[in-house]
Each structure stands twice: as structure tokens, then as C-alpha cells.
Amino acid sequence: MIVKISDDKEIYKRAAEILNNNGIIAIPTDTIYGFAVDGTRYEPIKRLKDLKKREEKPFTYFIPRRLLQDYAVITKKKIIDCFVPGPITVILKKNPDGKLGSDEEKIGVRIPDYDFVINFLDYYNKPIAVTSANISGAPELLNPFEIAEKFSEIELIIDAGTLSGKPSTVIDLTTPIPVVKRKGAIPILEIEKIYGRRIKLDPSLKFNLLFVCSGNSCRSPMAQGIIKTMLDTRYVEVKSAGTAAMDGLPASENARAIVKEFGGDISDHRTRYLTEELIDEADLILVMEFKHYETVLEISPGSAIKTFLLKEYKRRTKYNEVSDPVGRDLSTYRDTALEMFPSLRFVAEDIKRRLIQ
């Protein structure tokens, strides 16, 4: 049954009845739809595992905020206080006194910043176990009619229209230094700003670095090629783009020659235009001039937290731009590379401190 989302207590009552009878419902969140069951009993969690066709991967628990300490051991409180509720899943040690329908020592806890979910959790007054609305490994289903068509077992679907948000960021707070287990809606650098120090990245993930200049034929590919000689590309993905680039052209001859002097190789480089997708997937964006910074923010206003001029990253300087060698001789390109080199070395060391190798 599909029911249009509202604050009608009858919807809460119906959803609670289904959950209390080991049923499965589909609910909207601040990111995507999720399948939900009662989180305090084994039987509904087993049903959800069978529905998802997965055995090992644990589910996330949505828990009323006032009950968090009853089910989880709170740590790294600054991160929780800032981002919960919100698009983040925090992994915490399970409180042994809290009754849940699974035996894990650690649990993923999430409270979406979504009024319906927050209000329903307060009404239900106990945890629900939640997972994305899909078969494990398949694309998420983004609207209620797709869910109803593919999953007849779902007894109630709360219709909030089509949802297409990024998945929540998943971060393990049980380790001495927090570890990001899945990238998502909250950028790594935003978490670091609140936490006050660097966090770590799970070895299964890559740190994504993006350099931006104008034509993507001189400065940004040189920066890309040089910094790749300083980093293990098994753990770091380095890309570059231009705010006024034509797609598909090689780097300039002088840029290729200078990168070779530094031990790198950009012979396979092809120019590309800066897109929202490139910005979105980047964990850190380093630009050459302030006009490039402005363009990044015009395309993606929320990216300010992770966008910096290369020579200003973690430095107390302003408007410190990298000179453009385009159309000049080889020595000018060399000067530009030498101008960037100390900053590139600093950035490389900064990134390495986030990696678990």
C-alpha cells in the first residue's frame, strides 16, 4: 500500500502496527528511500536480510535521539552533536544493556534530518533497522512506484515523491581516529573542520583530488602529473579540469616536458571541461586562481568547504595565485612548476596522513 506522506497520526499508527507485527515498510529519508523493520527483534531483521538477499552486511539503526545512549556508547561527541540528525551514519559500540535484534559489537546509527522520520521515531519510541531500498548491490530505487512494483512484500510505502540524494557518509567513531567507511553527503573536510583534526579514510576508498585551471592544458595537468609522483595511486585518485577547456586535447608540449623533468608522465592527458560531477566526486579541489574558485562555487555552491587556491591550502595567505605560463617558453613553464612544487609537496603529505596503508 502506498500512502502519501503527511503528519497524520494514523499513518504513524499504521506503520507502527506493521513493524510490531514483524512487517517491512518503506520510508523516505533526507537522502534516499529505505526499507525499515523493528530493530529490537531478530525475526523482522531476518526477513529484511532475506528481502535484500544479503547475509553479512549489518543494517543501520534509526534511533530516537533521546534514546541514543540506551543503545550505543557515545564517543567523538562533537561529530555527533554537529551532524546528527543529518546525512551521516556513525558507527558506535553497542550498549550491552540495549536490546537489539542483532549481535554485532558495533552498530551503525543514523537519524535522518527529515521531519517524518524524526516524528515517527519519537512516536514508535524504539529503534528501527533500516537499509537502502534495493536488492543488495543493485541501484537504489528512487520513487515509491518502483518500490511497489519490485517488492510486493513491502506492506506500507510512504510516498514522498522521487528522491535522489547522495547516500549518507559512514564514519567509524570507535577507533582512536575516526575512519570514513563510505563517502557520502557530508564531505571529509567538513567533518575535519568540526572534529578539529584530520580523520582517516578506509583502505577500500580512494582520496579524490581535483586540480582546476582555465584550459586544462598547462597548470592543472602539470600539478596533476607532479603530485602523482609523490602519492600512491592505489589510494589516491588525481584528476584535473579547466573552467574554459575544450575536451580531448593533449597537454601543451612544454607542460609534458616539464612534468617529465619531475619524473612524471602526462603524455596520455586529455583536456576536459569542469563539471558538477567532477566537483561532486572530489574530496579536495585545488585551483590556480581566484576566478577558478568562483567558477567552482557557481557550479556547486556547497563545495566551498573543500575548495582552495593551491598556494593557500592550510596557509594564512590570501589571493596567492599560480602564474599562467600559457604561450610562453619552456623556462616559464619550469618556473610555474617550481612555483607550485612546495604546495604540491605539502598537499601530498597532508593527504598521506589521512590514508591507512
> What positions carry a catalytic annotation?
213, 219, 324
C-alpha 244: how far from chain center: 27
Residue 355 is classified by DSSP as B
Length of the chain: 357
Grid cell digits, residue 58:
549489518
First-to-last alpha carbon distance for the chain, in angstroms, is: 48
d(CA 276, CA 303): 10
Q: Of 292, 42, 2, which is closest to residue 147 (Cα–Cα)?
A: 2
d(CA 108, CA 90): 6
Grid cell digits, residue 276:
558538477
Q: Is 132 helix (H, G, I), strand (E, B) or coil?
A: strand
Grid cell digits, residue 347:
598537499
Beta bridge pairs of residue 185: none
Grid cell digits, residue 348:
601530498
Residue 194 is classified by DSSP as H
User: Which residue type sits at 329?
Assistant: D
| CB atoms near residue 248 (< 10 Å) | 8
